[in-house]
Structure 1
Amino acid sequence: MGDLEIRPATADDLPAIVAMLADDPLGAQRESPDDLTPYLTAWERLASDPSQHVVVAVREGRVVGTLQLTVIPGLSRRGATRSIIEGVRVHADERGSGLGTRFIEWAIDESRRQGCQLVQLTSDASRTDAHRFYERLGFTASHVGFKLQL
């Protein structure tokens, strides 16, 4: 993986992060890389919450991947703490390089470090390649997810 660095994201990384979020058929419908205002507002909330970990992968000074890890304490499962992996994106130039695997391994390791007993994620039903990827890493499709747009 060469000189790849995984580090906490900064506000300066937002243009690259949003561009990656928008760089697929689903993201192109819901992201607005030309107006960073809502992302900056969200960034302020994320940056002030110690349960939120937005990270980027950087190679040769360029952001080439991102993910968000959220740590959630809970009462179920005997008071287990869980983490949720969201917004995993790898730059088109880096797909197939092993970066996605390294990212998920980072998230699992960080979840353990944070005392989590469970790591979970969701993936849009249309992302069948992503589903195979997560299954190869040990995740199981154990639940049916529901969303309500507000």
Structure 2
Amino acid sequence: MRRVNAETQRVTRPRPVERFVPRRLVVPVGALAAVAGAFAFVGAVDPNQPGHYPVCPLLRYTGVYCPGCGGLRSAHALVHGDLATALTDNALAVVGYFVFAVVWTVWAVRSARGRPLRIDLGPVHLWSVGVLLLVFTVVRNLPFGGWLHP
């Protein structure tokens, strides 16, 4: 139905009703599907059995555990509902999984509302993450940090 604006004498069409558009969620749902697929694969193919995944090069050539060592075993344990084992395999990875879940939820809600996700990390935040990774790596490779070994 067309309406004529009396001031401008132009024919205008009514604006469509704003409604929830599933297209807004295509990218967040696609990202979640990719992560869920990766977790499903790691849950199905046990990283504790040799030969399924490549060995960490840093661990193989230097004997030093990197911050990611044990991450696949941690994901496998988490998929199978064993949070205690996941934390002992790589506690920092488990924290990362939950941070991803929170950020993804915020992203999906904002996308559904038609708003972009804005994560403004300043230098202090990035340096803090770097220091956390460094401290985690150093502590897990010292004798008293044996409880952090995968």
Q: TM-score, normalising length from structure 1?
A: 0.26
More helix by percentage? 2
The structure, 1 or 2, with the larger RCO (C-alpha pairs under 8 Å, 6+ apart) is 2
Q: Which has the higher strand share?
A: 1
Q: TM-score, normalised by structure 2?
A: 0.26
Structure of higher CA gyration radius: 2
